[in-house]
Amino acid sequence: MGFGGLVVLELRKRIDSRGAHIGAAALVLAVVASALAGAAVVGRNTPAAVAEVVVVAGLPAVLSAALIGVVVGVGDAPYGGERDAVLRGLSRTAVFTARGVVAVLFAAALVVLVFLASVGATGILWLGGSGLSAEDVGARVGELSALVVTGCTTGFGIGASCRSLAPAILTVLVVVLLVDAALSVAGGWSVYLRFSTVQNALVGSAGLLPAITSAAIWIGVPLVTGWFRTTRSRLT
């Protein structure tokens, strides 16, 4: 089996359990509901701005991106998930990388889902006779992609580092909801430490140096730790 096959295998493993089905269904419902809610709000304006629908529909995607990353990063590590691949002679680094590719694919799918839900919701407005404005749609989709990919990558690194779902989810929630919020009121220097800095940099609202330190802390360290644990953990 080559690397492509391994990616397909890891992808299948993430979508074939009951928990995955429930999670995916909940996420699709949340995105569609947000898109419809966003369309209902912006539909009061003339013309209705599609970009604003994308922003509202993207909220659940941005919030859940890190959790999706966690799920992929943990993988089936608690059940010795790398074991069969290693027994077949594949390296653990290959398994880690394949999972990383799956995380990026999920992030991309999430962005596509938001885009399609937004288009669908605004399509309903159009059918109802509302005027539409496509201004800034590309920029908003780009920002959404940056937020989703960074969140997913950080979650993936934390998941691979923890190798267990509950502590990984707790860590992500603490980082996103508590640590970042606490740092944001700590002073200007905290911009170098906050997770949101790297996300802001990707949408053009943060400097290069703070972005580098933020990315190193919240993306680099989790990824390296995750790789180290994936390649060193005992598979029994």
Partner 1 sequence: MIELRGIGLRGSGRARLEGVDLHLASARVYGLIGPNGAGKTSLLCVIGGLVRPTSGLVIRPVGEDVRIGAVIGASGLHPGRTVGETLRLAASLGPGGQRDVETALGSCGLTGVASRRVGSLSLGMKMRLAVAVALSCDPHILILDEPMNGLDPDGIAWVRQVVSQARGRGSTVVISSHLLGELAQLIDTAVVLSRGRVRHIEDMHDQRSIRSSIRVDVPSRLTAALDAAGIVWHEVRDGLVVHAPVGRTARLAVESGADILSARQFVKDLDDVYSRASSGEHLSWVSS
Site residues for partner 1 per CB under 8 A = 1, 5, 9, 12-13, 16-20, 76, 79-81, 83-89, 234-236
Find, among 68, 53, 91, the residue nearest to 15 by Cα: 68
β-pair type (48-49, 132-133): parallel
C-beta of 9 vs 224, nearer to partner 1: 9
Find, among 42, 31, 29, 27, the residue nearest to 122 by Cα: 42
Interatomic CA distance for residues 31 and 116, integer angstroms: 10
Cβ(136)–Cβ(51) below 8 Å:
yes
CB of 88 to partner 1, least distance (A): 5
CB of 80 to partner 1, least distance (A): 4
CB of 63 to partner 1, least distance (A): 24
Q: What are phi and psi of 133, to 5 degrees?
A: -120, 125
CB of 1 to partner 1, least distance (A): 6
C-beta of 213 vs 233, nearer to partner 1: 233
Structure tokens, 163:
């190798």
Those residues whose C-beta lies under 8 Å from the C-beta of residue 179, and which sit 6 or more positions away, are 195
Question: Would you tell me how many other CB atoms lie within 10 Å of the CB of residue 57?
Answer: 31
CB of 95 to partner 1, least distance (A): 11
Cβ(122)–Cβ(51) below 8 Å:
no
C-beta of 1 vs 170, nearer to partner 1: 1
C-beta of 87 vs 185, nearer to partner 1: 87
CB of 117 to partner 1, least distance (A): 27
Three-class SS state of 207: coil
Q: Which residue has the tokens 């980082």?
A: 175
